């Protein structure tokens, strides 16, 4: 009985594969040293392809379905084996199951920022990431060029290479697009389609088909995003005076509803109220001026009487430096200079200077000071002039 079971186990009569991993692309059927029995049942499920390899050469490829192996449905293997007139003995061959389903949610992203020249911000660094999907389209080419003799080929063994292709093509497409950074969010579909068309051709070289490529996000460096957020906040606030009034009103309401605030809260609320009232008056001033201008416009019965306006501010008085006993003193305003003239401390021959004069000059030659000397009577006859005193 033991010898019979041993002989029975040397022949394989059922060949199939169920994928429990969900990430296996190619799986080699575990034949080991056993021989495949002629007439064995081969089951190829949907989203699978079975590839027979004889002595390192790809032979027959079976699409989804159930097959009874014979020389009729294995023409290439029959030729390689030399089965010219039919052969029913067991044979040895490697069977690879290729998973042709879509492999979804594969992540890609730029490991280093992509440098681009933006018309608004100048040179900026961009990062991007997204997802892509692919499937095996040519099982024979994929095994020959990529898998080789690997009996358990998973997505992790090829995704790095596929991501590198995506990143290279994406960086090139962004640099050539010359789309402003602020407009890139509205061009994700265009980027996806443009890059996807380029990648499809490159994936076909591996026997793969890119079924979907998506750009999920394109982002700026953190410091640039903070600056953009500040500018956006200013735009949202709009009129800062109205925003301040709104904030002050909220603070007053909060203070009024806070019974534990006491006098301090009341004082704070009153202070904010006065500040808000001042801001409201400032905001109303342009409206009042506009109304006054409207009253000055001609009406049907003629011009209405113009409202009196406040006089402009007094002009600032000039100040002079005075030379007394060879020393500079001052500056003195016009009132002080008038007192000095009355006391005899300032005469027409006294040197004076103010800002804007090219050099010191006698006070009597300065036009602004001429009025000070006109009201001073000349010295009495026979009386010596009063010396200047300081």
Q: Which CATH code is given to the segment(s) 103-220?
A: 3.30.479.30
Query: Look-up: residue for tokens 């006070």?
Result: 363
Query: Look-up: residue for tokens 């004082």?
Result: 267
**pLDDT per position in the chain (390 positions), as tens?**
454 444 445 567 899 999 888 899 999 998 766 688 888 999 999 999 999 998 889 999 999 999 999 888 888 888 888 777 666 778 888 999 999 999 999 999 988 888 888 877 788 888 888 999 999 999 999 999 999 989 899 999 999 999 999 888 888 887 777 788 778 777 888 878 888 888 888 899 999 999 999 988 888 877 777 776 666 666 655 555 666 666 677 777 776 676 555 545 455 555 555 555 555 555 555 555 555 555 455 544 444 555 556 676 666 677 888 888 777 887 888 888 788 888 778 888 888 888 878 888 888 888 777 778 775 555 566 656 555 544
What residues are paired with 212 via a beta bridge? 133
Strand locations in the chain, DSSP E? 11-15, 24-28, 35-44, 48-54, 57-62, 65-68, 94-99, 103-109, 114-118, 122-136, 152-154, 208-219, 320-324, 327-332, 351-353, 361-362
Nearest CA among 75, 73, 71, 74 for reference residue 86: 71
Query: pTM of this prediction?
Result: 0.55
Q: Would you call 82 helix, strand, or coil by DSSP?
A: coil
Q: Can you read off the two tokens belonging to residue 317? A: 């008085």
Give the torsion through C-alpha atoms of 271, 272, 278, 281, to 10 deg: -140
Q: How do the domains of the chain map onto residue ranges?
A: 2-99, 103-220, 320-372
Dihedral (CA of 32, 38, 40, 46) sign = positive
DSSP strand pairing (114-118 vs 122-136): antiparallel
């Amino acid at each position: 009985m033991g010898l019979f079971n041993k002989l029975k186990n040397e022949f394989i009569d059922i060949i199939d594969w169920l994928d429990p991993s969900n990430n296996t692309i190619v799986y080699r059927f575990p034949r080991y040293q056993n021989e495949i029995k002629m007439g064995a049942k081969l089951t190829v499920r949907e989203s699978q392809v079975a590839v027979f390899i004889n002595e390192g050469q790809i032979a027959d490829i079976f699409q989804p379905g159930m097959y009874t192996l014979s020389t009729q449905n294995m023409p290439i293997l029959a030729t390689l084996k030399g089965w010219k007139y039919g052969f029913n003995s067991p044979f040895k061959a490697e069977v690879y199951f290729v998973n042709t389903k879509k492999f979804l949610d594969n992540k890609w992203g730029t490991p280093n920022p992509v440098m681009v020249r933006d018309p608004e911000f100048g040179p900026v660094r961009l990062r991007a990431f997204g997802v892509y999907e692919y499937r095996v389209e040519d099982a024979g080419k994929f095994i020959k060029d990529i898998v080789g003799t690997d009996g358990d080929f998973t997505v992790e063994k090829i995704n790095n290479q596929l991501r590198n292709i995506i990143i290279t093509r994406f960086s090139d497409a962004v640099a050539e697009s010359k789309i402003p950074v602020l407009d890139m969010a509205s061009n994700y579909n265009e980027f996806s389609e443009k890059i996807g068309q380029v990648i499809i051709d490159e994936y076909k070289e591996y026997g793969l088909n890119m079924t979907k490529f998506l750009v999920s996000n394109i982002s700026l460096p953190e410091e640039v995003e903070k600056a953009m957020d500040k500018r956006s906040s200013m735009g949202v606030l709009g009129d800062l005076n109205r925003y301040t009034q709104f904030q002050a009103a909220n603070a007053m309401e909060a203070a009024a509803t806070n019974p534990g605030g006491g006098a301090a809260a009341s004082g704070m609320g009153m202070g904010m109220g006065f500040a808000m009232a001042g801001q409201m008056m400032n905001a109303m001033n342009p409206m009042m001026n506009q109304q006054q201008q409207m009253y000055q416009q001609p009406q049907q019965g003629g011009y209405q009487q113009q409202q009196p306006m406040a006089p402009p501010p007094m002009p600032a008085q000039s100040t002079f430096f005075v030379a007394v006993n060879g020393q500079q003193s001052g500056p003195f305003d016009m009132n002080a200079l008038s007192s000095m003239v009355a006391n005899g401390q300032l005469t027409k021959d006294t040197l004076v200077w103010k800002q804007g004069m090219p050099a010191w000059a006698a006070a009597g030659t300065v036009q602004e000071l001429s009025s000070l000397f006109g009201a001073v009577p000349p010295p009495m006859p026979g009386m010596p002039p009063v010396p200047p005193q300081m």
